[in-house]
Amino acid sequence: MIETFANPSSGPDPVAVLFHPTAVPVIDVFRSIGRLDDQYDLSLLDAPERALSAYVSPGAAKGIVSDALLLAFALSRQRGRAFDHRPLRSRYGSLDEYGLLVLIGASRRPRSDLAREASAFLEVSPFDLLTALAGELARQIGLGTIVFPMPDVDEFRSVIGTEAHEQGILVEAFGKPGLHLGL
């Protein structure tokens, strides 16, 4: 669902993405990893791991954190610049966070238009190690009850497209009941 609103975030994105509550712990792992640049303390990942345990088994939560850590380091290295992250536990996401979750979900079909466009948006290549890392993360996420449906390529284009620069848009992302990453 896309509704037109002024962007409530303080960041530069003209679009605010509203994640389903069960997807927030997944993006919080990446947000916490982003904070590792300031202080290298892996305990920053404890809170997102605990939050994930509400939706997946404790073992799968550890797997998600571990796989996200590997993916985040690979993405940062290939991309060469930091991701724009919102505060921890925020349902509002940045376009970078939206693109990241779309890339993870699209890793099930790495040669799809959606995977290619999410990769291009994030300035990474979909056909290398990143696909395998994102695919394993997607598999771990699929073990639980995290709502994580993927947009079609037209919806993705409309969210990240140039038309969004003219107005703020609030996107209810990944909130379609009954659709999960594993489908």
Mean pLDDT over 146-169 rounds to: 72
Number of residues in the chain: 183
**Which residue did the predictor score with more confidence, 165 or 40?**
40
DSSP 44: G
For residue range 17-69, list pLDDT tens digits in order.
899 999 999 999 999 887 666 666 677 788 899 999 999 999 999 999 999 98
Helix, strand, coil shares of the chain as percentages rounded to 5? 50, 10, 40
**Confidence check: pLDDT of 77 > 90:** no
pLDDT of residue 128: 67
**Which amino acid does the sequence have at 132?**
A
State pTM to two decimals: 0.79
Q: How far apart are CA 5 and CA 55, in angstroms?
A: 30
**Which amino acid does the sequence have at 103?**
L
**Among 171, 173, 177, residue whose Cα is nearest residue 7:** 171
Q: Which residue has the tokens 């848009």?
A: 169
pLDDT of residue 167: 37
For residue range 81-133, list pLDDT tens digits in order.
889 999 999 999 999 999 999 999 998 888 889 988 999 999 988 666 778 88
For residue range 8-19, list pLDDT tens digits in order.
444 566 677 899
Query: Cα 12–13–18 angle (5° rounding)?
Result: 135
**Confidence check: pLDDT of 148 > 80:** no
Mean pLDDT over 134-150 rounds to: 86
78-85, long-range: CB < 8 A, 24+ apart? 78/124, 78/125, 78/130, 79/122, 79/123, 79/124, 80/123, 82/34, 82/37, 83/30, 83/34, 84/11, 84/12, 84/13, 85/30, 85/31, 85/34
pLDDT of residue 101: 93
